[in-house]
């Protein structure tokens, strides 16, 4: 037991964009009880933490990156922890894959998250960035969140104690940093068939418009108010635009994909090119949705 500190983890092997340099260290948290050692371990390393799920929304820079990746404990199976009226509360550990969690709730006949089908990553990652699609997001079902922070240790934060928005999540009590360690969601009973068919429908729509198999981090820019970044990029001529090993997807212009051998330098140059083009053509400043690390 105790924390394991491993030197020099490769971001290329830990992100779905498959690019980026080497972080200072990777801290493997074997058990939640080990978390108390984490602030001390980080202080010793002298770098900030980066909670790592499946790395599916990260664009890591090239070279040596001064940060410590934090890997959460292996998840246990989700658990039904309460019933209230027609609501069923399910608890999950942060490290559980979101697709696996969605299959689990569907198999129990619990509805409310079907629109999230096809989002990769862990459920902790989905909470931490309020992942969403097709009119729903994590905050819609979230009941409370298990957080760890240096000030307050491990504690459950109720729905009212966290701020959520479009791809945004933050505890109201601000601290140096926090980790999402678990979540409880409120779902509703429905027939397994109906849930599975809504999930399949979401997947089909996504497959038709998004390059789900490509090395990407999903949508690279946020949608501006009442507009679509994909459409703006498309109109500005960026669908399929390539630089080195990076390209805006032919299928969806807001997906930046690594076609092989792409670097973060290529990615950031393409991003800057696209931002200035859309600003010129439409007078709109596109904001990044992926997190550039560090």
Q: Are 22 and 10 in contact (CB under 8 A)?
A: yes
Q: Are 244 and 286 in contact (CB under 8 A)?
A: no
Q: Edge-to-edge strand order for the sheet containing 246-248?
A: 215-219, 255-258, 246-248, 242-243
Shortest reach from residue 49's CB to ligand EPU, in Å: 23
Among 27, 229, 246, 286, binds ligand EPU (CB under 6 A): 229
The single residue of 167, 201, 231, 273 carrying the catalytic annotation is 167
Among 254, 258, 263, 264, binds ligand EPU (CB under 6 A): 254
Which of these segments, 12-20, 143-151, 250-258, 265-273, binds ligand EPU (CB under 6 A)?
A: 250-258
Determine, following the binding rule CB under 6 A, whether residue 223 of this chain makes contact with ligand EPU.
yes
**Residue (of 94, 48, 55, 68) closest to 5 by Cα position:** 68
Note if 18 is an active site residue.
Answer: no
What are 254's two structure tokens?
A: 């807001």
Note if 152 is an active site residue.
Answer: no
Give helix 192-209 / helix 98-107 axis angle, nearest 10°. Answer: 150
Neighbours of 17 (CB within 10 A): 27
Among 18, 54, 198, 239, binds ligand EPU (CB under 6 A): 239
Q: Are 126 and 182 in contact (CB under 8 A)?
A: no
Shortest reach from residue 102's CB to ligand EPU, in Å: 14
Determine, following the binding rule CB under 6 A, whether residue 91 of this chain makes contact with ligand EPU.
no
Note if 289 is an active site residue.
Answer: yes
Positions marked active-site: 167, 219, 289
Binding site for ligand EPU (CB under 6 A): 133-134, 209, 218-219, 222-223, 228-231, 234, 239, 252-254, 289
């Amino acid at each position: 037991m105790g924390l394991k500190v491993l030197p020099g983890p490769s971001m290329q092997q830990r992100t779905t964009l498959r690019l980026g340099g080497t972080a200072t260290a990777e801290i493997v948290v074997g058990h939640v009880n080990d978390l108390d050692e984490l602030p001390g371990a980080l202080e010793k390393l002298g770098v900030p933490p980066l909670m790592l799920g499946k790395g599916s929304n990260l664009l890591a820079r090239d070279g040596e990156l001064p940060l410590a990746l934090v890997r959460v404990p292996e998840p246990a199976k989700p658990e039904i922890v309460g019933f209230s009226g027609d609501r069923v509360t399910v608890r999950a550990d942060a490290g559980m894959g979101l697709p696996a969690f969605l299959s689990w709730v569907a198999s129990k006949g619990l509805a409310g998250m079907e629109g999230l089908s096809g989002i990769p990553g862990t459920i902790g990652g989905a909470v931490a960035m309020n992942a969403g699609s097709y009119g729903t997001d994590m905050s819609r079902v979230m009941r409370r969140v298990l957080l760890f922070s240096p000030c307050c240790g491990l504690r459950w934060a109720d729905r009212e104690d966290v701020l959520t928005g479009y791809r945004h999540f933050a505890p109201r009590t601000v601290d140096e940093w926090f980790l999402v360690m678990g979540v409880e969601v409120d779902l509703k009973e429905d027939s397994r068939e109906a849930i599975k068919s809504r999930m399949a429908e979401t997947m089909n729509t996504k497959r038709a418009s998004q390059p789900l198999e490509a090395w990407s981090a999903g949508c690279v820019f946020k949608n501006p108010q009442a507009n679509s970044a994909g459409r703006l990029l498309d109109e500005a001529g960026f669908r399929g635009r390539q630089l080195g090993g990076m390209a805006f997807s032919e299928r969806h212009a807001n997906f930046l994909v690594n076609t092989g051998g792409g670097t973060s330098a290529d990615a950031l140059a393409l991003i800057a090119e696209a931002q200035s083009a859309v600003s010129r053509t439409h007078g709109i400043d596109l904001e990044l949705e992926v997190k550039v690390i560090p």
